Structure 1
Amino acid sequence: MPDFLPTPTLPATVAAPTLAQRLALRERPAGTPIMRQDWSELLFLHWPVPAELLQPYLPPRLQIDTHDGMAWLAIVPFRMSKVRTRISPPVPGANVFLELNVRTYVHLDGVPGVWFFSLDAANPLAVWAARTFFNLPYLRATMRLDEPGPELRQFTATRTHSGVAPAIFRATWKLGPPLPAAEPGSLAFFLTERYCLYASNKAQTKLYRGRVAHAPWPLRTAQVLHLESTLIESQGLPTPAGEPVVHAGSPVSVELWPMRRV
């Protein structure tokens, strides 16, 4: 079973964030981040989905974010490295690991962000800490990232977390040339410029929001040569139709702020 179950009713539709509100989140938040890390070898796999399909899976106050009337469901594998808190250096053996998330995009009070259906990770300590202190649905998994060629990447994952639906992910992709910076208001901007995340307790009675800061993703083209996954289905969602919209992300350095109740 997924960590979060669909709610039976839909909230009233509210206005989506304006472009100005989306661009404002590029600014680094005030205060001191609690954690820093680097993200690399990232692949965005996005499918358009009717908003009414995803809305029931959200906490009551969150609203699905849409582009040209469609919601988007994504699978995102990547490597996390140089993981450290603001008061400690990277811990050998715990500062580099692979992660894989299933996500959609939401907004609340004019603040757009990411909602995670699941986050699989190959680091038991990170899974425990994220579930315990950040209310994020992290799950244990075994993962591997190979480079069978100079521009080829092969990512494999098998969920090992007890008490939840099993899932696997297998993907091979070929990296292409860099893309121009995503134009504000474009689909690439909507899908990749996300500087806020939302989380909820399991009963969905409390809602939290956290900020992240990093440079806009330097995007590349990518061609998916093989894709096999049951991650989306493990959440009780139907398999998206058609081929995904694909982007690859070059490395970025990331700062994370505390999750605050909203």
Structure 2
Amino acid sequence: MEPEPITATPPPLRGRAVLRQSWRDLTFLHWRVEADVVAPLLPPGTRPDVNDGTSWVGLVPFRMVDAGAARGPGIPWLGTFPETNVRLYSVDEQGRRAVVFLTLEAARLPFVLGSRAALALPYTWARMRVTELGDVVTYSSRRRWPGPRDATTRVVVRPGEPLAPGDALADFLTARWALHTRAFGRTLHLPNAHEPWPLRTAELLELDDHLLAACGLPGVATRPPDSVLFSRGVRTTFDSPVDARAPRPGTGGATGA
């Protein structure tokens, strides 16, 4: 099935909201990668999403703030910590676009263990820090568990001017309203929704990354990224997961690749 259109605003959530969290002070570093390179890293029933002839891999450091259940307040300490993810871009058999996380480095061990148990998400425990001095933001991470211990990253950026709405590549890379994950013998589609990203340009001042190589993508981070963006962030809500084979609403139950 053809991929669904890319929109800067999410479709309405249709299930029961299960989780809310804020993502703050994010940097989006992205590299072009050939689709056949990343295809083996995606869960069954999904394929690489392609823009302008290639797929993409993202390195995204940020601060998680007040993560918690959909009902009730966020958890100030347990739900607030630095995080860095490495992500790919996927389409399932129903044409639903999403991201696939190869790793989610996080500084709270209880959150890591809970997320791995609940949805088999590839969270890892890391020693991390996010600092801002003047107009420069610095992110650093070193994995603690499970290994390898040399899975590290350091990113230094200077955020720039606001990015005008309607940038097709920025929308492809950031307006992703779900994730795909493999859990309990099934590929799941987990929708989310939030306000449109307030994106800004950014200048990459320093990059020393070994996470992409640890995720099976050696050599990618040795070249400059093809896109660098920054955002002060959004507040997001996650819907209940569904089987990735389930038809999209309004498709009449049709299936196919």
TM-score (norm 2): 0.88
**Separation of aligned partners in 1, 2:125 and 2:102:** 14
**1:243 aligned onto 2:224:** yes
Match of 1:196 in 2: 178
1:156 deviation in Å? 0.5
1:248 deviation in Å? 0.5
Change over 3 Å in CA distance of 1:250–1:163 after alignment to 2: closer
**1:225 aligned onto 2:225:** no
**Separation of aligned partners in 1, 2:242 and 2:9:** 16
Q: What is the CA deviation profile of residues 24-62 of structure 1, one whole-angstrom value per residue up to 9, with x for unaligned ones?
A: 971221233111111110000000011111111222311
**Separation of aligned partners in 1, 2:147 and 2:241:** 26
Match of 1:209 in 2: 189
Match of 2:105 in 1: 120
Match of 2:66 in 1: 82
What amino acid maps onto 2:128 in structure 1?
A: M
What amino acid maps onto 1:156 in structure 2?
A: S
1:131 deviation in Å? 0.4
What amino acid maps onto 2:195 in structure 1?
A: A
Q: What is the CA deviation profile of residues 129-156 of structure 1, one whole-angstrom value per residue up to 9, with x for unaligned ones?
A: 110001210000010011121x210111
**1:172 aligned onto 2:153:** no
What amino acid maps onto 2:162 in structure 1?
A: P
Equivalent runs, 1:1-262 vs 2, <5 Å: 16-19=2-5, 22-23=6-7, 26-108=10-92, 109-149=94-134, 151-164=135-148, 166-183=150-167, 186-201=168-183, 205-240=185-220, 242-244=223-225, 245-262=227-244
Match of 1:3 in 2: none
**Separation of aligned partners in 1, 2:95 and 2:149:** 34
Change over 3 Å in CA distance of 1:24–1:152 after alignment to 2: closer
**Separation of aligned partners in 1, 2:207 and 2:106:** 19
TM-score (norm 1): 0.87
Change over 3 Å in CA distance of 1:201–1:18 after alignment to 2: closer
1:238 deviation in Å? 1.9
What amino acid maps onto 2:106 in structure 1?
A: A
1:165 deviation in Å? 6.0
Question: Which runs of no fewer than 5 residues in structure 2 stay unpaired?
Answer: 245-257
Higher deviation after alignment, 79-88 or 246-255: 79-88
**Separation of aligned partners in 1, 2:4 and 2:146:** 41
Change over 3 Å in CA distance of 1:18–1:88 after alignment to 2: closer
**Separation of aligned partners in 1, 2:149 and 2:2:** 33
Aligned-pair identity (%): 34
**Separation of aligned partners in 1, 2:169 and 2:71:** 38
**Separation of aligned partners in 2, 1:131 and 1:258:** 16
- Structural RMSD (CA): 1.8
**Separation of aligned partners in 1, 2:182 and 2:64:** 23
Contact kept, 8 Å, 2:112 with 2:125, in 1: the verdict is yes
Aligned residues: 241
**Separation of aligned partners in 2, 1:130 and 1:221:** 32
Q: What is the CA deviation profile of residues 156-200 of structure 1, one whole-angstrom value per residue up to 9, with x for unaligned ones?
A: 1000013556400111110111111134xx111111100110101
**Separation of aligned partners in 1, 2:25 and 2:8:** 27
Contact kept, 8 Å, 2:8 with 2:175, in 1: the verdict is no
Question: Which runs of no fewer than 5 residues in structure 1 stay unpaired?
Answer: 1-14
